[in-house]
Structures are given as structure tokens and as C-alpha cells.
Amino acid sequence: MAFRLVPALLFAGSAIAQSVGMWGQCGGINYNGSKICVSGAVCTYVNDWYSQCLPGTATSTTTRTSSSTTLTPSSSSSSIQATTTTQSSQTSTSPQPSGSCTPLSGNPTSSTIPKLPDPFQRASGSRVTTKAEWQCRREEISQLMQTNELGTKPPKPSSVTGSMSGNTLTINVSEAGKSISFSISISYPSSGTAPYPAIIAYGAMSIPTPAGVAVITFNNDDIAAQQNSGSRGSGKFYTLYGSNHSAGALIAWAWGVSRIIDAIETTTNVRINPAKIGVTGCSRNGKGAIVAGAFDTRVALTIPQESGSGGSACWRLSDAQKSSGQNVQTASQIITENVWFSKSFDPFVTSVTRLPFDHHLLAGMVAPRGLLVIENTSMEWLGNMSCFGCMKAGQTIYQALGVQSNMGFSQVGNHNHCSFPSSQQTELTAFVQRFLFDQSSANTAIFKTDGNLNFDQAGWMPWSVPTLS
């Protein structure tokens, strides 16, 4: 911190020497480093604790200091805008917004929301009444979650190429003069015909492999390490974007999944159908799976398994379980364990009611695509009531879109963590048939727990569910 007492203005004439790289931190409470970004980046207010160098051109002064300041990245290469642009231009079953959605102005986080935030209320205060408006609300949620919890998911890099060798697909990615290369292995099914549907498994497959489906093993730790709280900034994602990038591991892995799908779309001999991709993972990797499904509309089926806090649980509900004396993982604990979240989440963990979202909205971002949430009732740490209540709230978004049974929830206890009970096989098969094989008759109307859980639905969900036109 040799320069920490030097006023920022002095840097103006010699910005190159002290400038912060693309994606680096450039402001925030207790931040004493340089506020000048490299050429091509603008220091953009994220929240009171975090400003970041994002692609764009400065139009006025650099660091913004008020949460009422408009977040207006000046070019379409801005990550948040580009992310949403990519999502809305992808082929998917999602209803498309009738016009383009206006990015959220500022970062509203100051008011306290003690109960689960209303999925259908825009930041502007108006309520969502149409499916097209939901798409804009969804983009708003995406922006809020990236800004205040997950970190930024960069848009598709300038070059993504795939090459097959045996059953290994090597993916080379280049952006702004930096390159990485990572590989995935594909296990092809012994039945069915190419191009096959596929499930991307974080780490290793921990659910039974469905017949006719390829398994893509994704070494997510290679993209972003998750050894412990000291792993921040390690992994190939950070080789490309810099170790100071705001992304925590979950969104960095989601970026990796998007690059896998990019490569599947463009590599001729890969023999996988890019329109029939599932994503799964268990425990920490289950948290990763639901984030990947939420942030790429090309994922047809998302199957988080025992993801618990940080996945299918809601921060508010986990705090409530904890304060009633149960040993449930909370936001304030989870950030000390690992680097799954952005540093920008830290200011919220002791007051999660300041978050303008909770994880029911993460599930809602997957809608209307397939989502099967598998949980374990008897593992106290995961927060059994929190997962159940959170996903109950998340399902209201599917309900509002008229596709309630596109989301399933199955919570079964008395098995080992990440072992798959045979009692859930029928449910898994139904979701695979419906979303990877287009069997519209498969019965996916599943929402069950074997626990007698004390979820106060009226209390936690004090809002009505519209029928979106």
C-alpha cells in the first residue's frame, strides 16, 4: 500500500503506472488502493463497499459513491448488459421481452426486507403482470445477484473454440490477449442416437446416469479453486480475468458451463445436442449447479442435489433456523468457509434482510426451464425448512408463468450425504424424460418432503401470486 495516502487526483497524469486492471477493485469503504482503471475500463459503483473496473469508457469522474447513482455501463461490452443480451438472444423456451429491458438504475439495497422479497415486484415498485415483464424482472434479479452476492459473470469471450480428441473435448478461450485451455471428458451412452442429450456433472456424477444420456465431467475446481477461504482468485477463470475479479467460485463455474455449451454448439464431431443439456452437482457443487442453470438459458434441466445454504436454501430462512437453535449453515458462516461468493457479499452476511433478493429468486431465474431440486431432510446443516420454504417460494414463479410442474422438489432423509435414494428415481426419470427427451407426458408434478417441517408460508411469503398474461 505504498501509495495509499496519495490523493487519487495525483494519479490522473500518470494513470498507467497505478491503474487497476480490468475487473479489479477500484473503490469502496476501506479500500485504499488506486481508483484509476486501465484504458478501456471505467470504475463502476457496485455497492458502498465495492467498485469495480468494468469494460467501458468514462463519461465523467471515476468512482461513484452514492447508491442512488445510476449504473450505466457505457458500452455493450459491459458484463451485466452483455450477459442479459446473450441470454435473451439465445434460443430457448423462455418468453421473450417485448422490448428491451432497461438495466436497473443504481443498486437498491438499503431498505430492510424481513420476509422473502416479492418475486413480482420490480425495483421500480410496479408489479409484474405479463410474461414479458417477468423477463425484465429476471434480468433485474440477475443484475442484483451478480452485484451483491455472486460477482460478475463475464460475457462470452472473443474466442471460444473446441476440439475433440477421443472422448475429450478441449476448450480454448481467449480474451484481451490472455488465453486458457480446459478439457472435459464425455462418456457416451450405450443406447440412443447421436446427437445425445447430456448432463454436465460438476466433479463427478452423483445421481444415476439416465439411459441414452451422455455424461460430461466438469472439473469445476480447475476453473475456480474452492479449497478454503484462502483460495480466492485461483483457477483458470482468474488467469483470464485477473485474480481480483469480483466473481466468486459459483459464478466463475457458471461461466465455465456457458463456455462448455459454446464449444458443444460449434464443435462438429462432439455428438451432443446443445438444446438438451442438463447440469448437476452435489453439496457445494449443487450450489454451483443451480447457479449455472440460473445464469444460462441454454441449460434445459437443472438438478442441484443437497445444495443447502448458498443453493436451494434462503439466507433469511437459514438465519431463522439458526436463531431457533438449530445448527444450520448461515451466510455469515459460509463466507468464512470458502470462496463461493463474491467479496461484495460480505457486507450483507450479518444483515441478510438488506439483500433485495433471496434464493427463491435464484430458482425463479431458471423458470420456465426444468428444475428438480433434490434435498436431504435429515442433514441439519443444510437447513431442511429453509430449503423447503425457499423452493416453495421459488415455485410461485413457475406457477405465475403457468408451468408449475416444470419445477420439482424432493426432500428425502436417512441416506448418506450425496448418495441418491432409490425412492427418488421415478422423479429423476420423469424430469429427464420431460426435459431431455421431450416426453411431455412425463409426470413432473412433484413437491414433497418426508419431514414435518414448520414453514410458515403466509408469514414468509406475504405477497400474492399473479397469473402472468
Ligand X SMILES: *[C@@H]1O[C@H](CO)[C@@H](O)[C@H](O)[C@H]1NC(C)=O
Active site members: 283, 417
Number of C-alpha atoms within 13 angstroms, CB side, residue 335?
Answer: 17
Query: In whole angstroms, how close is the CB of 225 to ligand X at the nearest point?
Result: 16
User: Shortest approach of ligand X to residue 226 CB, angstroms?
Assistant: 19
Complex with ligand X: residue 95 or 222, whichever CB lies closer: 222
Residue 242 binding ligand X, by CB under 6 A: yes
Burial 126-160 (b: 16+ CB within 10 A, else e): eebeebbbbbbbbbbbbbbbbbbbbbbbbbbbeeb
Q: How far is the CB of 29 from ligand X (least distance, A)?
A: 9
Assign 198 to helix, strand or coil. strand
Cβ nearer to ligand X, comparing 282 with 397: 282
* Strand-strand pairing, 178-187 and 159-165: unpaired
CA–CA distance, 211 with 39 (Å, rounded to integer): 52
270 contacts 263 by C-beta, under 8 angstroms: yes
To the nearest whole angstrom, how small is the minimum distance from the Cβ of residue 450 to ligand X? 6
In angstroms, the CA 189 to CA 213 distance is 6
Q: What residues from 46 to 85 belong to the interface with ligand X (CB under 6 A)?
A: none
Crossing angle for the helix pair 249-266 and 284-294, nearest 10 degrees?
60
Residues in 366-425 that interact with ligand X by CB under 6 A? 376-380, 384, 413-417
Strand ordering across the sheet containing 25-27:
25-27, 50-55, 41-47
Q: How far apart are CA 106 and CA 429, in angstroms?
A: 43
Nearer to ligand X, 40 or 413 (CB): 413
**Beta strands 370-375 and 41-47: pairing type?**
unpaired
CB of 380 to ligand X, least distance (A): 4
CB nearer to ligand X: pick between 14 and 32: 32
Select from 72, 77, 92, 172 the one that contacts ligand X (CB under 6 A). Answer: 172
Residue 106 interacting with ligand X (CB under 6 A) = no
Minimum distance, C-beta of residue 198 to ligand X, in the bound complex (Å): 21
- Which strands form 196-202's sheet, in the order they lie side by side? 159-165, 168-175, 178-187, 214-218, 196-202, 272-282, 299-305, 370-375, 407-411, 447-449
Q: Which is nearer to ligand X, 380 or 456 (CB)?
A: 380
- Determine the Cα–Cα distance for residues 291 and 250; give it in Å rounded to an integer: 7
Q: What is the 3-state secondary structure (H, E, C) of 304-354?
A: EECCCCCCCCCHHHHHHHHHCCCCCCCHHHHHHHCCCCCHHHHHHCCCHHH
**Closest distance between ligand X and the C-beta of residue 231, in Å?**
15
- Find the binding residues for ligand X in span 16-35 (CB under 6 A): 21, 24-25, 30, 32-33
Q: Which residues contact 404 (CB under 8 A, 6 or more apart)?
A: 395, 398, 445
Which of 161, 187, 217, 353 is the binder for ligand X (CB under 6 A)? 161
- CB-based contact 413:451 (threshold 8 Å): yes
3-state helix, strand, coil in the chain (%, to 5): 35, 20, 45
Q: If binding means CB under 6 A, how many residues of this protein chain bind ligand X? A: 29
SS3 assignment, position 226: coil
**Contact window for ligand X (CB under 6 A) among 123-131, 241-249, 264-272, 348-356:** 241-249
Shorter beta-carbon distance to ligand X: residue 271 or 417: 417
Stretch that binds ligand X, among 76-84, 188-196, 240-248, 251-259 (CB under 6 A): 240-248
- Describe the crossing of helices 315-323 and 384-400 by its angle, rounded to 10 degrees: 150
Distance of closest approach, residue 418 Cβ to ligand X, in angstroms: 8
Q: Which of residues 109-128 bind ligand X (CB under 6 A)?
A: none
Q: For ligand X, which is the closer residue by CB, 108 or 451?
A: 451
Please identify, using beta-carbon distances, which residue of 137 and 322 lies nearer to ligand X: 322
**Which residue has cell 474452492?**
226
User: Which of 85, 163, 231, 234 forms a contact with ligand X (CB under 6 A)?
Assistant: 163
Contact between 209 and ligand X by CB under 6 A: the answer reads no
**How many residues are there in the chain?**
469
Pick 24 or 119: Cβ nearer ligand X: 24
Cell 454436465 belongs to: 200
Site for ligand X in 302-361 (CB under 6 A): 321, 326, 328
The grid coordinates of residue 372 equal: 428438480
The distance of closest approach from Cβ of residue 21 to ligand X in the complex, given in angstroms and rounded to an integer, is 4
Site residues, ligand X (CB under 6 A): 21, 24-25, 30, 32-33, 161, 163, 170, 172, 181, 242-244, 321, 326, 328, 376-380, 384, 413-417, 451
